Structures are given as structure tokens and as C-alpha cells.
């Protein structure tokens, strides 16, 4: 039986009031403000395993996982130790280290299409740099992205962007110049024809297609049969590069990411989040002859004082070697996620609430839509966001911490137990009843 008690949130409310005077919108990244679900954010004090605690002392089961990276749960012992030990040896040198070799070996051994890899400090940096490299390599200017996909906040990608940008109704940001915007062409996810049309018109000047091979930033939308292969064929035909943005899916859907699961090799891959075990990090890599165009060996410039940071590398190497050496983690994630999916489906049926649940591996989204399925950005946008907001608040009250937006993922981690899954299924039923 699920227990819900009225939560005290006074300290969080006060902290947010102060934050709003000092930090734009009170937050350092927009969706954290809970604006679209019309709630005040809870301020986090600490996290361990599958749980987080706010500064008022409330406990939550966490299904946000810092928006993806905490696939082994929070404050995993081996990762904490690795970071502590690294910190004692110094927090940054701006010089090469052995652990960077180790990370590069781990990444290239787990993601076979990545022959060489460059570390950066965020997913945004990874995609921004990969695009520059694609342009430098092909000598072309245009990039094709998909409406509703999010690739960080570099100018070229804030065109029909997903994630916080759609959640807040800001798919096209002011401040992006017309000159930048005109070099970004947009197509429709799961619609090869929309891509072909762009290539028929502009094929000689398209440097790359970039996409989330499984969309996560419009909520979870899976690629339909043949979509990824079709994109690969189009890029090959026109001499453009295919970039998979695996910032969410990398090391989550399999040790080799979505590209392993779907058997399609991109030319370049962008990675982030998981590879830092929660520390600020990103990476991009791919075919050696493309990566060799980067400075200092090649002419395409990209750099970073803190890139390959020893703390991030220490956390990341434990994270990746754990995932590499215990493949059963993925089987367990699949089992628990399937259990949750089945539970939510049964709850939808029982309560009569209209909804579609899309899942692959340990990422899923419950869309509050009357549609039978969600296969495109257009389908995702039919969701009732007001209903999601009330579902979110009800879940939070029963100690379940979900993404404060309809257009995000729910993540299962290795730290979630079967009891945790049973608890969220019970909370889900209550929340559905209340919407
Ligand atoms: N690409 C994808 C697919 C993402 O989901 C995100 C972040 N959610 C980014 C890029 C940007 O990463 P970061 O927030 O680390 O800059």
C-alpha cells in the first residue's frame, strides 16, 4: 500500500526565491525550474543509489538520473573512491595523462565505429565540435537535423529544438543569427522522404545529418524499421556524414549504444553524460581519417583547458569499465524496465486514462495522448501537457521524482530494485486516477 503524506517544502521554496534573485530563472539549466509543470523545484541535498533527498528532508525514488548519466545509481562506491583518489593527485593539469588513454581505449573498444575520440566537457561541446569537423572535412556548410531532436544549445541546433526548448515553447531561440539559422535544414523524424527532398535540393552542400538514433528529447520515439539505414544510404550517396548523437543512448541502450542495437554505423558519434559518471564531460569520435582533420594534426580547430579532466576521466573509466565488464547489467535494466512498462500499461487500462508508453531498454516515456502510437514529433506534440503536469505533481507527492516535462525520458538505473519498481507502479496508478 502506498503511503502519501503532505510534504514540507518550505526550505526549497525559500531557496528558490533567493535563487531567482541571483540566477536567471533561479536555475542553471531551464527545465530544472519545473516551470512547465507549474511547480516549484525541490532543491537537492544528496543522492545515493536510486534515491535523492531534498533540503527539507523528503526522500524520493529518482527516475531522472541527472537526465541520464546515473545508470549505475548515485554515489556508487567505486566511482566516489576513484574521484576522491584522483582529486588528491590534483584536479587539473592541462597536460596529457594516462587515464585519457584508458578512456579512449574503453570508448573505442565499446563503440566500434569510433576509431579515435576527443574528450570535451559537455554534450553541447561534443555536437558543436562534431558539426564543425563535419563541415571542415566535407568543405560544405549545411546540416540536416530533425524537428524535436535536441543536440545541446549551440546556435546551429536551436532550430526546432526538443527538450527544454519545446517544453518552454522556445524551439527557435532569439540570439541565433539568421546566417546561422539558414545553414540548418530540418526534416521530420522517421520520415525519409523529408530528408530525401532536402538532399535533392541541397545535396551538394550538406555536410552532415545529425540525429538522436533513438529520440529522447521529444520523449522517447523509436526509429522505425529502415529509417537509420535509409539515412546512412542517403549520406553515402551524397558524400555527407552521418552523425549519431548518442549523448543519451550511448552506453545506455547497450555497451555500444543505439548503433550496436540497430546495426547502423555512423561516421561520427557524440557522447556525453554517462561517460563522466555524472561529472561534466562529453566526447566525439568516429572514422580515423575524419578525426585526423582535427588540430594539431589537421586544420579544424577545437580545444579545451579542462578537456580530459582527471576527475571526470577517473569517474568515467570506472563507469565504462563496469558497464563493459558486466554485460548482465543491461539484461537487468531490460527486465526491470519491461516490468515497469507492463505495470504502467496495466494501470492505463484499469484507470481508462488515454496514454502511449514508448520504451527501449531502460529509457521510456508515457505520453498523455489520445493517439494509438507515438512515432513522430507531430504525434508527441498531441500530448496533453496539462495532464502531464498534474501527473508529475501527484507522483512527486508520493515520493517519485520524474522529469518535469512530458518531452523527456524516464530512466531506470542499476540501483533500482524490484521493490522500487513495484513502488513506482503503485504510485503511477494513484497518479493516473487523480488526472
Ligand atoms: N545531445 C543530446 C541527445 C542530449 O540529450 C543533450 C542533453 N540533454 C545534449 C546533446 C547536450 O548535452 P549537455 O546538456 O551536456 O550540453
* Binding-site residues, ligand 1, Cβ < 6 A: 67, 122-124, 127, 150-152, 163, 212, 216-217, 245, 247-248, 272, 282
- pLDDT tens digits, residue range 195-246? 999 999 999 999 999 999 999 999 999 999 999 999 999 999 999 999 999 9
Distance of alpha carbon 9 from alpha carbon 32, whole angstroms: 16
Q: What is the mean pLDDT of residues 274-298?
A: 97
pLDDT for the residue numbered 99: 98
Q: What is the pLDDT of residues 4-63, one digit of tens each?
A: 667 899 999 999 999 999 999 999 999 999 999 999 999 999 999 999 999 999 999 999
Residue 52 to residue 92: CA distance in whole angstroms? 29
Q: What is the pLDDT of residues 239-250, one digit of tens each?
A: 999 999 999 999
Please give the span between the terminal C-alpha atoms of the chain, in angstroms, as a whole number: 20
Q: Say which residue, 305 or 3, is predicted with more confidence.
A: 305
C-alpha cell at 206: 550538406
Report pLDDT for 335.
98
Give the tens place of pLDDT for each residue, 301-322: 999 999 999 999 999 999 999 9
Sign of CA dihedral 353, 150, 308, 240: positive
Among the residues of 239-383, which ranges form H helices?
A: 257-262, 288-291, 310-325, 328-351, 377-380
Cβ–Cβ < 8 Å for 243, 181? no
Q: How far apart are CA 17 and CA 232, in angstroms?
A: 49
State yes or no: is 172 an active-site residue. no
Give every CB contact of residue 162 below 8 A, 6+ residues apart in sequence: 147, 148, 149, 150, 171, 215, 217, 218, 377, 407
| Per-residue pLDDT at 5 | 62
pLDDT tens digit string along 91-123? 999 999 999 999 999 999 999 999 999 999 999
Cα of 7 vs centre of ligand 1, distance in Å, is 32
Q: How many CB atoms lie within 10 A of CB 411?
A: 26
Q: Which atom of ligand 1 is nearest to the CA of 127?
A: 10
d(CA 357, CA 390): 18
Tell me, in angstroms, the distance from the centre of ligand 1 to residue 152's CA.
5
CA of 178 to the centre of ligand 1 (A): 23
Catalytic residue among 245, 267, 379, 420: 245
Assigned fold of 77-325: 3.40.640
- pLDDT, tens digit (0-9, with 9 covering 90-100), for 321-332: 999 999 999 999
Q: Distance between CA 404 and CA 392 in Å, rounded?
A: 7
**388 burial class (0-12, 13-18, 19+ CB within 10 angstroms)?**
buried
Q: What is the pLDDT of residues 162-184, one digit of tens each?
A: 887 777 777 788 999 989 999 99
- Give the atom of ligand 1 at the shortest distance from the alpha carbon of 272: 15
Segment 333-364, tens digit of pLDDT: 999 999 999 999 999 999 999 999 999 999 99
Percentage of the chain lying above the pLDDT 70 cut: 99
Amino acid at each position: 500500500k502506498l503511503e502519501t503524506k503532505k510534504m514540507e517544502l518550505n526550505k526549497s521554496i525559500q531557496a528558490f526565491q533567493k535563487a531567482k534573485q541571483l540566477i536567471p530563472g533561479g536555475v542553471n539549466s531551464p527545465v530544472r525550474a519545473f516551470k512547465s509543470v507549474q511547480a516549484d523545484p525541490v532543491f537537492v541535498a544528496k543522492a545515493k543509489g536510486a534515491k535523492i533527498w531534498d533540503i527539507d528532508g523528503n526522500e524520493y525514488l529518482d527516475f531522472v538520473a541527472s537526465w541520464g548519466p546515473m545508470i549505475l545509481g548515485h554515489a556508487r562506491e567505486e566511482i566516489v573512491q576513484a574521484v576522491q583518489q584522483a582529486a588528491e593527485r590534483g584536479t587539473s593539469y592541462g597536460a596529457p595523462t594516462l587515464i585519457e588513454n584508458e578512456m579512449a581505449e574503453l570508448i573505442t573498444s565499446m563503440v566500434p565505429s569510433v576509431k579515435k575520440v576527443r574528450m570535451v566537457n559537455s554534450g553541447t561541446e561534443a555536437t558543436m565540435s562534431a558539426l564543425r569537423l563535419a563541415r571542415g572535412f566535407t568543405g560544405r556548410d549545411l546540416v540536416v537535423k530533425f524537428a524535436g531532436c535536441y543536440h545541446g544549445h549551440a546556435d546551429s541546433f536551436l532550430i526546432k529544438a526538443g527538450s527544454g526548448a519545446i517544453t518552454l515553447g522556445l524551439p527557435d531561440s532569439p540570439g541565433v543569427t539568421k546566417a546561422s539559422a539558414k545553414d540548418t535544414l530540418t526534416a521530420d523524424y522517421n520520415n525519409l522522404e523529408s530528408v530525401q527532398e532536402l538532399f535533392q535540393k541541397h545535396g551538394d552542400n550538406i555536410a552532415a545529418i545529425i540525429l538522436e538514433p533513438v529520440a529522447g528529447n521529444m520523449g522517447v520515439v523509436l526509429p522505425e524499421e529502415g529509417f537509420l539505414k535509409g539515412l546512412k544510404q542517403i549520406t553515402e550517396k551524397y558524400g555527407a556524414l552521418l552523425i549519431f548523437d548518442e549523448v543519451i543512448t550511448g552506453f545506455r541502450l547497450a555497451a555500444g549504444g543505439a548503433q550496436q542495437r540497430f546495426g547502423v554505423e555512423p561516421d561520427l558519434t557524440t557522447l556525453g553524460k554517462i561517460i563522466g559518471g555524472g561529472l561534466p564531460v562529453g566526447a566525439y569520435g568516429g572514422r580515423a581519417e575524419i578525426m585526423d582533420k582535427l588540430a594539431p594534426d589537421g586544420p579544424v580547430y577545437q580545444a579545451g583547458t579542462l578537456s580530459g579532466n582527471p576527475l571526470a576521466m577517473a569517474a568515467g573509466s570506472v563507469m565504462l569499465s563496469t558497464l563493459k565488464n558486466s554485460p548482465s547489467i543491461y539484461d537487468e535494466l531490460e527486465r526491470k524496465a519491461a516490468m515497469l512498462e507492463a505495470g504502467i500499461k496495466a494501470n492505463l487500462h484499469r484507470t481508462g486514462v488515454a496514454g502511449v508508453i514508448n520504451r527501449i531498454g531502460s529509457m521510456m516515456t508515457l505520453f498523455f495522448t489520445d493517439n494509438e502510437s507515438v512515432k513522430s514529433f507531430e504525434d508527441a506534440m498531441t500530448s496533453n501537457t496539462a495532464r502531464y503536469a498534474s501527473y508529475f505533481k501527484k507522483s512527486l507527492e508520493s515520493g517519485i521524482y520524474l522529469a518535469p516535462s512530458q518531452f523527456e525520458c524516464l530512466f531506470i538505473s542499476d540501483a533500482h530494485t524490484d521493490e522500487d519498481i513495484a513502488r513506482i507502479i503503485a504510485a503511477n496508478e494513484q497518479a493516473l486516477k487523480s488526472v
